[in-house]
Every structure is written in C-alpha cells, then in structure tokens.
Structure 1
Amino acid sequence: MRLRFHCQNRIGILRDIVAHFADYGLNVAHGEVGGEHGNAIYLHVPNLLNAQLTTLRPELERVPGVFGVRRVSLMPSERRHLELDALLSSLSDPVMSIDMEGHLVAANRAAGQLLGVRVDEVPGLSLDRYLPDLDLPALIRRNNARVNGLRIRLHDATYLADIAPLHRENLEDVASLAGAVVTLHRADRIGERIYHVQRQESRGFESLFQSSPRLEALIREARRMAPLDAPLLIQGETGTGKELLARACHLASARGQSPFMALNCAGLPESMAETELFGYAPGAFEGARPEGKLGLLELTAGGTIFLDEVGETSPRMQVKLLRFLQDGGFRRVGSDEETYLDVRVICATQQDLPSLCGEGRFRQDLYHRLNVLTLTVPPLRDCLDGIEALAGHFIDRAARQIGCPLPGLSPAAVARLCAYHWPGNVRQLENVLFQAVSLCEGGTIEPGHLRLPDVGQAPGLAGIDLDGSLADILGEVERRVLTTLYPQNPSSRQLAKRLGVSHTTIANKLKRHGIGGGDEA
C-alpha cells in the first residue's frame, strides 16, 4: 500500500511517522519527499492491510505536523517513470540513453527493435558493438553541447543523430557530464518528417481551409464554442476533418497549452479501450505490467481528451464515461481507488446517436451529457463551390512533399472533381490529389490522373440546395449535369450532340455556368 502524508516540513517528522509502522512490525520499503515545499511524504508499505490502516490512521494523524493521511496509487517516482515510458513508447524514432563509458542505460521500443534486443536487455550493452567507428563519449566531451544531424551508419542504413548531453550540475563543466540522450532519424525520411511536423504545427482555426460559405459558417460557430469549458459533440461523415476541428477548439480554449490526446473507439475490444482510456492498477490482470499503466485521461490532466467514434463504445465504457462526465472521477481497471481529474471531453461520431439511443445501443443519459455543445461538419459534396480552391491547396502541399514543380489543374479535371460524390470527403480528396501529383508528368493534372472509384454513389439530390426557387434548383441541377458530362464530351458541339440540343444552347449554358473555359469547338 502507498500512502501520502500531508505534513509540516520539520526535522524528524519522517522518523516519527515510520516509528509507528515499526511498532506494528511493518516494513517501509520506499519513501519519497514531495510537494512544492517538501510538505508531502510518500511511503510504500507493501504488507499494510486496510484494517491495519484503519487502526493506524488516528495514531499517524496525531504525529505533530501531520495534517492528513490518504492512500495513493503511485509514488511520485513511479508516476514519472510511467509518464516517461508512455512518452518514449509513443515515439516512432529510436531514442536511447548512454553513459560516459559508452554503455546503453535505457532505450525505447523503437531503439530496441533497431538493435535487435528487448527493451529490458538494453542496460549495459556497449555502443561499440553497433557503432565501432564512432566514439560517442569522446564526441560528447569534445563538444559539451547539443549536436544535431550527425550522420551515422547503423545496420546498413543511414541515420541522422541528435545528441543531447546530460549534466549532473554545471552545464558548462565537462567533468559534470553524465551521458547523453541520442535520437535517431532515418535520413531517407527527413522530408516526410518535415511535412508531418508542418502539419502538426498548423492545427488551429487558421489552418482550416474555409473555401466554402458553409465551412466559414462552421468555423465561426466553432470559434464561439471553443472557449466554453463544456463537453463538445462533433458530428460528420468520415474524412470531414472532425479531429482537426476538435484540436483547433482545444488550441483556442484556456486549455490550449495543456495536453490533447485522441482515442479512436472504433474497432477496439472493450478491455483494450477501457485500459487505454482509464489505465490499470499494478497486477490488474495476467500479463499486466507490475507497475500498472496510466490511461490517456491521466496523461491529459488539465487538457482535452478527444474520443472519436464514441458511438462504438461498449455499454461498460459508456457507464464509466458517464460517471467521469458527471463528477470527474473514475477507477483504473483492477483498482478500488477513486481518481479525480479536470479534463475536457470532445467526442466525434458519424452515426446518428439519437437513433442508437432509440435502439438501446447508446445510453440516452450519456448522449445528453455529451450533447451540451454540438458542431456538424458538412460533407464535401455540399461544399463544391470551394472545391477548386481546396484542391489547389492540397496540390501545393503534395508538390512540396514530393519535391516536384507545382502542376496546374485543367478545367476538365476541375469538372471531374465537382461531379464526383466524395464518399471519403476531404481526406479522400487530399489522397486523390497526392496520387495525381505523383502521376502527373507534365505541368497540368488532367481527368486521367484522378483515380476516383465509383463506390458509395450519393443520392440524386445530395448537396443540392432546395431552399431557393424552382428556377434556382433547376439551374443547379443543370450545372451538375453539364459538369458531369463535359469531361467525356469536352466541347460544346460534342456535348450538344450528346444531349440532343443545339450547339448555341449548350455554348450559352456552359458560358453561364463557367464550364470548359467557353470552348466553341
């Protein structure tokens, strides 16, 4: 059992507390001093039972300077270890720590895979075994400063190493060097890394492309809701950018400098989803880590948790999530201790939650808790008036990543984009244009470069605004028909023959709708 003593910082108080455990024949295995001013003492007493704690608590609280005693799930050092382990495990790049003799002290999972050993086999390994031509300790002593982009060869691959020296005390004293943390980046993936870093940096509302009046209205609404510290439910089809919108709302709130964590609830087994979100206690189940695991909620303390596809959560998860939304409390898997946190919850779904409530597949009380603030992201087929500008944005991004000249987009290709139903929405558009840029050998993207699968056909009136007059509605239908058929009949004469009307009629209609650049051929 682990205990936290809120106490006065005075000489001898630890001795006075530990003496009571000695009187009961209980061994104190580990102790730590914490708190901002050393006003907390943590003790790990492995054999202490609940009944014994009930008897001991009054005696412990009578120790001069002790203001309160309560159970905790982790010692401060254990929590730091778990947080560091979670952070390192989430990194895809190999990260390792070495001492000044050139021996490995610790490494993350990616580094263990690179070196061909388990993480627990890393401590004590000599770096010379892997880098015989590089004396890293000598390099660290010689520079005594951070080294970025050192090119090394490891297992017939080239890496760029970032080396951060570790000092015991004086940062300028070579004698205080204790080792270094080395991070390896694959040299052939640096361009990809820069691209992803740029995407990570541009996550606010300014990064959201607002090429359509409907998207502009959505962003205005989201800006008003972002600072409100209440649950937010974002609805929209797959690929519409619900997580980007959630992250922008987080950054625009008072929690913007705190963590933002995301969990996709779709397809996760119930037990895995529960342990990912809430964590588990030491020895909670067979195969669990002996020190337990922090859940995403605890790693997000003070920040925002984003639950994607919340409609896919199990009934048990729904109960625990409802409890957390009600009072901020939860229990880790395998633990009877309550944990209370301040975390904002943003959820997203592409399902009709009221219908799921009616079918008994989603708790109605949970739905009302989540539905305090609501945003609905329109599908791409309802924002076709801005698709050309959005396509130009994605083409520019793809050309920068691939490292090729910026291609243009032909009128026929624009017409093809406008005629498609986009079941995968903005994400599909980005992927299609990335592939088109890679396929385009000339300076212009043509319809043949656009690989658009004919799946998930949209309903006939999808995306057509029915609020206007009959003339307005028929004009929009006419525009869509001409936009769809023009790429297969790329001249006014061909299209007139295809539709059985005069060449002059089609030429005028194409000009009115801005299709085909006024081609009279």
Structure 2
Amino acid sequence: MRIKVHCQNRIGILRDILELLVDYGINVRRGEVGGDHGNAIYLHCPNLINLQFQALRAKFEAIAGVFGVKRVGLMPSERRHMELNALLGALEFPVLSIDMAGSIVAANRSAAQLLGVRVDEVPGLPLSRYVEDFDLPALVRSNKSRVNGLRVQVRGDVFLADIAPLQMEHDDSEALAGAVLTLHRADRIGERIYNVRKQELRGFDSIFQSSRSMAAVVREARRMAPLDAPLLIEGETGTGKELLARACHLASPRGQAPLMALNCAGLPESRAETELFGYGPGAFEGARAEGKLGLLELTAGGTLFLDGVDEMSPRLQVKLLRFLQDGGFRRVGSDDEVYLDVRVICATQLDLSELCARGEFRQDLYHRLNVLSLHIPPLRECLDGLPGLVEHFLDQASRQIGCALPRLMPGAFEKLAAYQWPGNVRQLENVLFQAVSLAEEGAVNAEHIRLPDYGVRQPLGEFSLDGSLADIVGRFEKAVLERLALEHPSSRALGRRLGVSHTTIANKLRDYGISR
C-alpha cells in the first residue's frame, strides 16, 4: 500500500511517523518527501493492509503536525516515471540520457530502433559505439549549457542534436550528471516543424498572407467557408491545400465536428474504397469479423478532405458521385444503405476540366465537386510576399532550434528570389530551416541556401511580364520559336514540330525577325 501523509514541515516529523509504523511492525520500502509546498510525505508499505490502515489513521492524525493521511495509487516518482515513459514512447524522434562517462543510461523506443537494440538492452551501452567523432561528456563540461542543432552522425545518418545538460543549480562542473540527447533527422526537420506549426495554429491564422495573391485567396475562402456545399481546391504540391481546407472547416458551422483526411494518391483502389466507405462483417478474407467503419462514417456531421482526388479510380468516382447526390453509400461487402451528412472538400494538383476533356475524370462528378472552387497560386507567382514569408520562416526556425534570429544576407535572398520553387511554400520552409541550422555567426549566407537543381537554365529563359496579355504572349511565342528554330533546320520541320503549317511558321519568323 502507498500512503500520503499531509503534514507540517517540521523537524522530526518523519521520525515520529516512522516510529509509529515500527511499533506496529509495518515495513517501509520507499519514502519520498514532496507535495506542492514540501508538505507531504509519501510511504510505500508493502505489508500494510487496509484493515491496519483504517486502525492507524487516527494514530497518524494524533501526531503533532499531521493534518491527514490517505491512500494513493502511485508514489510521485512512480507517476513521473510512467508519464515520462508514455511521453518518450509517443515521440517519433530518438531521445537518450547519457552519463558523464559517455554511457547510455536510458532511451526511448525510437532511439533503441536507431541503435538496433531492444529498449532493455540500452543501459550501459557506450555512446561512442554509435556516434562518430563526438565526445558528449567533454562537450557538456565545456559548455555547461544547452546546445541546439549540433550536426552529428549516428550509424552513418546525419542528425541535428539538441543537448540538455543534467546539472545542479550551481555551476560546479563536478555536479554535472550527464545530458539528455534529442536527435532529429536533418532531412526531415523541416517537415517536423511544419507539422508542429500546423497543430499550433488554427484556422486562417495558420496561413501566412504576405502576398497580395494569397490574401485574395484567403478572402475568398473566408466567404466560402460557411457555405455548406462541396469545395474544390486547386494548387501545386506544397502550396497549402490541406491547410486551407482545415481553415475552411474550422470557420464553418461544422467546425466543432471532426475533419478526416484521405490522400487518394498512390492508394490501390481496394484500399482506398475500404478506407473511405468501410466494409461489412466478413467482407473478404482477412477482414475483421465485426467489419470496419470508413472515414465517411467517422466524419458524420463534419468534413471529409480528399487530397489527390484526380487519382481516384473510375469505380470510386461513381460511389463518391452517388454519395454527393443523395448522401448514401454501401460499405464493401454489405447490402445495407448508409446515409450521412458530411461536407466534402477535395484538392487536386491538376486541372480537372482538362482531365474531363480527355475522358480521365467523370464530368458529372467534376460539376458536383466544383460547386465552390479556390485556386492557390504557386510561390513563384507570389514573390511580392517573399520577404515577409522568409522573415516568418526564419523566426519559426530559430525558435524551434533555440538560437538567435539570424540575419539573411543579400546574396542568400537573391538566391531565394531567383529560384522557381517546384515544392512551393513547404519547400521554402524546409530550405530555410536547414539554412538556419547551418548558419554560423548569426548570418544566413548564399552557401547555406541549398536548392536542388539551382542554376539550371530554364527552358525558355527569362522574359518580361510587362504590358498587355498580347504583349506577354508575343514575347513567349518569340522565345519558343527562337529556341526551336535552332533545332529544326526548315520551316516545314518546325511547322511539323509545332503542328502548324510551314507558311505560318515562315510568317512568324519574319514578324519576329528570327533568322535560322
């Protein structure tokens, strides 16, 4: 049995309590002094039974300074240990406790998997066996303070390490007990921060609107959010389609109901169907005996977000169309009709109208989904908001890493502004987080901005966007003809390449002053 004695903090009170237990032959295996103000004593007495406890209660309370005594389920240290284990077990990134001899004292499950051992095999393992050229005890002794974002190699993989010394209140280095080492994969750190920020920010506040184009999209979204009709969001990868969908859900009358998301891209048809519509008992070999609820039923009264709807199979398109028409569907392997009230928001990277024209997407489904529509422009079309966006992400990254806000040098910004950003805002955030982690002396330089394929010549070079649409299209057409005229020796060959007559090509080459 574990008991808590609520008492006055006076000299000798613990002795008086223990003497009472000794008189009655009660063994104390463990004792802790705690409470919010140090006004409680916790005792673990394995052989104390409830009948004895009830008889001793009055004697406890007769001790000077004791206000009350009661049973508790756990000692404070046991509760902290269980909570810490639950917390560490829930973390996806590795966490290790290291002593000043360089040995691992404890680790969570993710760290054990990284080291290739079981959790119970971790204590006593030398850190140097797994981490290359890294003397943690020496680093802790020399710094005596937290270190964030240190690049280390663990079993050949690069991580960013956060190191928190275990130190007494005074600064005597002999009091150092070790450190807690938290590892983050360098290639996924931006994604982790992106997900953390998505959970911290809610609604339209999570969408940074430094660009005029994005501010206009958000204004439209705010008007559409309360309308209880399907919504189609178009935009390239990384533009924030799911973020916008969640904001619209939270701003709608369904905001307190669940929002469920399904990414249709890459899912086999059978898997996508069971995930979306569920299945009945014994629907197929290996199915649960009781069946399974699909996302639609789990979302009842809320919003279903379908990302990559353009990759949905024709059969699933039919089932989704029927649900949008009358709110009904059948689970896989079941004849029972299920009717639900769910708002559907879809997202796509492609132009669904073009897919309909090619017969690759049902036109009737497209019209059902396209009751309300939003288009998120790519980052390369929102460069007027790039300075504010960069400043925002630098601030976010420095807060997460725990360093001072670095300065962005002119060369680094020029590199960012000249890039085409195929991964859009998500790519920008990841690149800037990596840049902050690499920055030295509080400055992000051009070499810290690591961009794939940076410097590769764009297919049509650069041309001005000034003037009317006819002017812009004319400059674009001239750029196309100048490039292809180098590869095709005659007007006939160039005409065949572009699908027009050789006379048209000859006239355009003459009009634009292009000679071969």
TM-score by length of 1: 0.55
Is the 1:330–1:338 Cα contact (8 Å) retained in structure 2?
yes
Letter in 2 for 1:351: L
C-alpha distance in structure 2 between counterparts of 1:471 and 1:345, whole Å: 41
Letter in 1 for 2:73: I
Cα distance, 1:275 vs. partner? 0.5
C-alpha distance in structure 2 between counterparts of 1:203 and 1:230, whole Å: 22
Cα distance, 1:201 vs. partner? 2.9
Letter in 2 for 1:413: A
Which moved further from structure 2: 383-392 or 396-405?
Answer: 396-405
C-alpha distance in structure 1 between counterparts of 2:442 and 2:411, whole Å: 15
1:157 aligned residue (107, 110, 114) = 107
Identical residues among aligned pairs (%) = 66
User: Does the C-alpha gap of structure 1 residues 204 and 281 become closer, same or farther in structure 2, counting only changes over 3 Å?
Assistant: same
Is the 2:421–2:427 Cα contact (8 Å) retained in structure 1?
yes
Cα distance, 1:409 vs. partner? 0.7
Is the 1:151–1:158 Cα contact (8 Å) retained in structure 2?
no
C-alpha distance in structure 2 between counterparts of 1:272 and 1:400, whole Å: 40
User: Does the C-alpha gap of structure 1 residues 271 and 462 become closer, same or farther in structure 2, counting only changes over 3 Å?
Assistant: farther
C-alpha distance in structure 2 between counterparts of 1:188 and 1:151, whole Å: 14
User: Does the C-alpha gap of structure 1 residues 285 and 389 become closer, same or farther in structure 2, counting only changes over 3 Å?
Assistant: same
Cα distance, 1:142 vs. partner? 5.7
User: Does the C-alpha gap of structure 1 residues 468 and 332 become closer, same or farther in structure 2, counting only changes over 3 Å?
Assistant: same
- In structure 1, the residue matched to 2:360 is 361
Cα distance, 1:467 vs. partner? 5.1
SS in 1 for 2:73: helix
C-alpha distance in structure 1 between counterparts of 2:234 and 2:216, whole Å: 15
SS in 1 for 2:374: strand
C-alpha distance in structure 2 between counterparts of 1:199 and 1:335, whole Å: 37
Could you say what the CA RMSD is over the residues aligned between the two structures, in angstroms?
Answer: 3.6
Size of the aligned set, in residue pairs, is 315
- In structure 1, the residue matched to 2:309 is 310
- In structure 1, the residue matched to 2:321 is 322
- In structure 2, the residue matched to 1:256 is 255
Is the 1:422–1:429 Cα contact (8 Å) retained in structure 2?
yes
1:276 and 2:275 aligned: yes
Which moved further from structure 2: 193-202 or 262-271?
Answer: 193-202
User: Does the C-alpha gap of structure 1 residues 157 and 369 become closer, same or farther in structure 2, counting only changes over 3 Å?
Assistant: same
Q: Which runs of 5+ in 2 are unaligned?
A: 3-43, 47-70, 90-104, 110-179, 475-516
Cα distance, 1:344 vs. partner? 0.4
Is the 2:329–2:339 Cα contact (8 Å) retained in structure 1?
yes
- In structure 1, the residue matched to 2:8 is none
Which moved further from structure 2: 453-462 or 276-285?
Answer: 453-462
Cα distance, 1:461 vs. partner? 8.0
C-alpha distance in structure 2 between counterparts of 1:473 and 1:365, whole Å: 33
- In structure 2, the residue matched to 1:434 is 433
- In structure 2, the residue matched to 1:217 is 216
C-alpha distance in structure 1 between counterparts of 2:471 and 2:81, whole Å: 64
Is the 2:421–2:428 Cα contact (8 Å) retained in structure 1?
yes
Q: What whole-Å deviation, never above 9, does each CA across 1:242-287 have from its counterpart, x for those lacking one?
A: 1101110001100111101111100000000000111111111011
1:451 and 2:422 aligned: no
Is the 1:382–1:464 Cα contact (8 Å) retained in structure 2?
no
Letter in 1 for 2:213: R
C-alpha distance in structure 2 between counterparts of 1:404 and 1:260, whole Å: 35
C-alpha distance in structure 2 between counterparts of 1:349 and 1:329, whole Å: 24
User: Does the C-alpha gap of structure 1 residues 259 and 189 become closer, same or farther in structure 2, counting only changes over 3 Å?
Assistant: farther
Q: What whole-Å deviation, never above 9, does each CA across 1:459-492 have from its counterpart, x for those lacking one?
A: 6488964555999999xxxxxxxxxxxxxxxxxx
User: Does the C-alpha gap of structure 1 residues 195 and 211 become closer, same or farther in structure 2, counting only changes over 3 Å?
Assistant: closer
Letter in 2 for 1:442: E
- In structure 2, the residue matched to 1:299 is 298
5 Å-filtered alignment, 1:159-178, equals: none
5 Å-filtered alignment, 1:401-440, equals: 401-440=400-439
Is the 2:198–2:243 Cα contact (8 Å) retained in structure 1?
no
- In structure 1, the residue matched to 2:394 is 395
C-alpha distance in structure 1 between counterparts of 2:423 and 2:304, whole Å: 25
Which moved further from structure 2: 452-461 or 202-211?
Answer: 452-461
2:73 aligned residue (125, 137, 140) = 140
C-alpha distance in structure 2 between counterparts of 1:237 and 1:449, whole Å: 26
User: Does the C-alpha gap of structure 1 residues 274 and 228 become closer, same or farther in structure 2, counting only changes over 3 Å?
Assistant: same
Is the 1:382–1:463 Cα contact (8 Å) retained in structure 2?
no
SS in 1 for 2:288: coil
User: Does the C-alpha gap of structure 1 residues 251 and 464 become closer, same or farther in structure 2, counting only changes over 3 Å?
Assistant: farther
Letter in 2 for 1:386: G
User: Does the C-alpha gap of structure 1 residues 290 and 244 become closer, same or farther in structure 2, counting only changes over 3 Å?
Assistant: same
User: Does the C-alpha gap of structure 1 residues 316 and 195 become closer, same or farther in structure 2, counting only changes over 3 Å?
Assistant: closer
User: Does the C-alpha gap of structure 1 residues 375 and 289 become closer, same or farther in structure 2, counting only changes over 3 Å?
Assistant: same
C-alpha distance in structure 1 between counterparts of 2:370 and 2:346, whole Å: 9
5 Å-filtered alignment, 1:428-507, equals: 428-454=427-453, 460=460, 465-466=465-466
SS in 1 for 2:223: helix
Letter in 1 for 2:107: A
Which moved further from structure 2: 193-202 or 335-344?
Answer: 193-202
TM-score by length of 2: 0.55
User: Does the C-alpha gap of structure 1 residues 441 and 458 become closer, same or farther in structure 2, counting only changes over 3 Å?
Assistant: same
- In structure 1, the residue matched to 2:371 is 372
Q: What whole-Å deviation, never above 9, does each CA across 1:29-51 have from its counterpart, x for those lacking one?
A: xxxxxxxxxxxxxxxxxxxxxxx
C-alpha distance in structure 1 between counterparts of 2:442 and 2:193, whole Å: 25
C-alpha distance in structure 2 between counterparts of 1:246 and 1:410, whole Å: 35
Q: Which runs of 5+ in 1 are unaligned?
A: 1-99, 101-134, 160-185, 475-521
User: Does the C-alpha gap of structure 1 residues 467 and 235 become closer, same or farther in structure 2, counting only changes over 3 Å?
Assistant: farther
C-alpha distance in structure 2 between counterparts of 1:212 and 1:269, whole Å: 38
C-alpha distance in structure 1 between counterparts of 2:290 and 2:469, whole Å: 67
Letter in 2 for 1:157: A
C-alpha distance in structure 1 between counterparts of 2:299 and 2:218, whole Å: 25
SS in 2 for 1:289: coil
Letter in 2 for 1:140: G
C-alpha distance in structure 1 between counterparts of 2:467 and 2:257, whole Å: 43
Cα distance, 1:293 vs. partner? 1.0
C-alpha distance in structure 1 between counterparts of 2:465 and 2:397, whole Å: 32
User: Does the C-alpha gap of structure 1 residues 293 and 375 become closer, same or farther in structure 2, counting only changes over 3 Å?
Assistant: same
SS in 1 for 2:232: strand
Cα distance, 1:151 vs. partner? 3.6
C-alpha distance in structure 2 between counterparts of 1:464 and 1:340, whole Å: 54
Is the 1:421–1:457 Cα contact (8 Å) retained in structure 2?
no
